A = this chain, B = another copy of it.
């Protein structure tokens, strides 16, 4: 097992990279950004090009990236994952012990999928979805008055919210008719109240998403919505859909109009291409657009099997991230899409990356001696330029950046103002940031000097479509998995959220139970004291 999962800091390539990192390339030095470098440091993946000439690397670094990938067996692990190996585990200790098969959820387009059984299950759910959407489109499925459903509320949190929400917002330009999707995630009752104030429930479906069928926030919000439907005199059974694991407490056809299944071999944060994303994306964009989205993701999954790191976009992105994190010691990563449609995509990646790789224990249960997942954050440009870019250019902390851009906009509505279109202005600003971070600029006024030498990459495609959205999602999903393989951590569990859940239960018991006579020690324990200090309980 340790042969298969080596400790990265014991690999020869790790030591070689450590040595190279003592004198990394200075991007601000004259003559570094040559035409040759800019042309050579491009990696193609699907319809995307990754431009990485503005990273602090050279041929030597790239050669060691290749060594690190080979020595850690990252592609071997990826292939095993896709074929159904139990990758979600910690050896010698109790762990989830599950397969990791989110790639199967989009492996629907080949005669020989990597994992036939999981792909068959995915196809079956897709067929159910297609039939459901056809019933909606044809008018066979309507509300009690025979009217069509125009709105859908998605009730889910974390992986059942962030990815689907980000993708829906990214692809609204491809929506069919006037269908709209709304999201309730937070247990904060104001989240549901805000949505309900704006909606006509008679024309609204509710899609409840929880693999376990027991997620506190989701169950609570479902009850809240069922009560609202009851108050409105509507039969929830005609409006509520379920996406849940087979056999979960939610898997009860009597309570739902339709039920779609998700499987324990797909983690929540990797579930956007399963029915977790499928139901709401199918409703909003139509079945064909959802399939195009899956096709894009599947294409990247296949391309990511390439062992040459310079021809494997997600793997190269993963290695550049490890270089910046472990060797140039940068604790954060800014992801900066120059597309307003990607307004929530970074929030999804923040989840997918930080929940996967925010770990300190390796797959043998030992504490790691190196940094793992960075803090991922960001907002769309150009907005961010007017917000936090000051720190990116002149702050005391170096923030590596991953820019994302598209040569065309989505709607094709644009206007020439002062001799250029908005899209041209957007692109000019995007490339200007890549250059400014890298080259900097000296000035006799120290406050107007830019040190430069701040690394970034640029992911470029022609246009954000269902296809490229699927590709972009899979690029990042695979990047994150590759990093986890190299760091030798389990990217597929989330034990770190358990303590908070448990303590919340304890606190809730204190809050709702009648005050009882307790021993002095018990009455003064930290949870009770904190409740008092916060003014939530008297005393």
Contact check, A93 vs B188: say whether CB atoms are below 8 A apart: no
The answer, yes or no, to whether A199 is at the interface (CB within 8 Å) is: no
CA gap between A392 and B35 in the complex, in Å: 42
Which residues on B sit within 8 Å (CB–CB) of A462? 535
The answer, yes or no, to whether A245 is at the interface (CB within 8 Å) is: no
Q: How large is the interface on A (under 10, 10 to 19, 20 to 34, 35 or more residues)?
A: 35 or more
Contact check, B447 vs A495: say whether CB atoms are below 8 A apart: yes
Known contacts being A358-B391, A422-B224, A448-B498, is A507 close to B432, with CB within 8 Å? yes
Query: Which of A374, A386, A393, A418 has most B Cβ within 10 Å?
Result: A386
Of the stretches A144-152, A309-317, A408-416, the one at the interface is A408-416
Which residues on B sit within 8 Å (CB–CB) of A158? 383, 385-387
Contact check, A383 vs B185: say whether CB atoms are below 8 A apart: yes
Of the stretches A109-117, A236-244, A394-402, the one at the interface is A394-402
Contact check, A415 vs B161: say whether CB atoms are below 8 A apart: no
Query: Top 6 A-B pairs ranked by shortest CB distance?
Result: A358-B391, A158-B386, A358-B395, A351-B387, A432-B503, A394-B496
The answer, yes or no, to whether A94 is at the interface (CB within 8 Å) is: yes
CA gap between A526 and B379 in the complex, in Å: 26
The answer, yes or no, to whether A20 is at the interface (CB within 8 Å) is: no
Between-chain CB contacts (< 8 Å), 21 pairs: A38-B533, A186-B381, A188-B380, A189-B409, A192-B422, A193-B411, A194-B411, A347-B387, A350-B387, A354-B391, A355-B389, A358-B396, A359-B394, A361-B394, A385-B497, A389-B497, A393-B497, A425-B504, A431-B530, A439-B526, A441-B499
Which residues on B sit within 8 Å (CB–CB) of A447? 90, 93, 95, 361, 365, 490, 493, 495
Which residues on B sit within 8 Å (CB–CB) of A365? 445-447
The answer, yes or no, to whether A1 is at the interface (CB within 8 Å) is: no
The answer, yes or no, to whether A143 is at the interface (CB within 8 Å) is: no
Contact check, B380 vs A35: say whether CB atoms are below 8 A apart: no
Contact check, A534 vs B396: say whether CB atoms are below 8 A apart: no
Contact check, A458 vs B534: say whether CB atoms are below 8 A apart: yes
CA gap between A512 and B507 in the complex, in Å: 62
CA gap between A527 and B500 in the complex, in Å: 49
The answer, yes or no, to whether A424 is at the interface (CB within 8 Å) is: yes
Contact check, A526 vs B332: say whether CB atoms are below 8 A apart: no
Contact check, A157 vs B386: say whether CB atoms are below 8 A apart: yes
Closest to A224 in B: B415
A74 → B minimal CB distance (Å): 20
Contact check, B189 vs A407: say whether CB atoms are below 8 A apart: no
Closest to A487 in B: B396
The answer, yes or no, to whether A51 is at the interface (CB within 8 Å) is: yes
A401 → B minimal CB distance (Å): 12
Closest to A225 in B: B415
A207-240 residues with Cβ-Cβ distance < 8 A to B are 216-217, 219-221, 223-224, 227
A253-279 residues with Cβ-Cβ distance < 8 A to B are 268
Contact check, A162 vs B387: say whether CB atoms are below 8 A apart: yes
A517-539 residues with Cβ-Cβ distance < 8 A to B are 524, 526-527, 529-536
A451 → B minimal CB distance (Å): 8
The answer, yes or no, to whether A433 is at the interface (CB within 8 Å) is: yes
Closest to A196 in B: B413
Contact with B along A476-520 (1 / 0, CB 8 A): 000000000000001001111111111111111001100000000
Of the stretches A79-87, A293-301, A337-345, the one at the interface is A337-345
Contact check, A394 vs B360: say whether CB atoms are below 8 A apart: yes
Which residues on B sit within 8 Å (CB–CB) of A490? 447
A219 → B minimal CB distance (Å): 7
Contact check, A431 vs B186: say whether CB atoms are below 8 A apart: no
The answer, yes or no, to whether A33 is at the interface (CB within 8 Å) is: yes
Which residues on B sit within 8 Å (CB–CB) of A188? 338-341, 380, 382, 409, 422-423, 426
A415-451 residues with Cβ-Cβ distance < 8 A to B are 415, 417-429, 431-436, 439-441, 445-448, 450-451
Known contacts being A359-B394, A360-B395, is A190 close to B351, with CB within 8 Å? no
CA gap between A433 and B500 in the complex, in Å: 5
A342-377 residues with Cβ-Cβ distance < 8 A to B are 347, 350-351, 354-355, 357-361, 365-368, 370-377
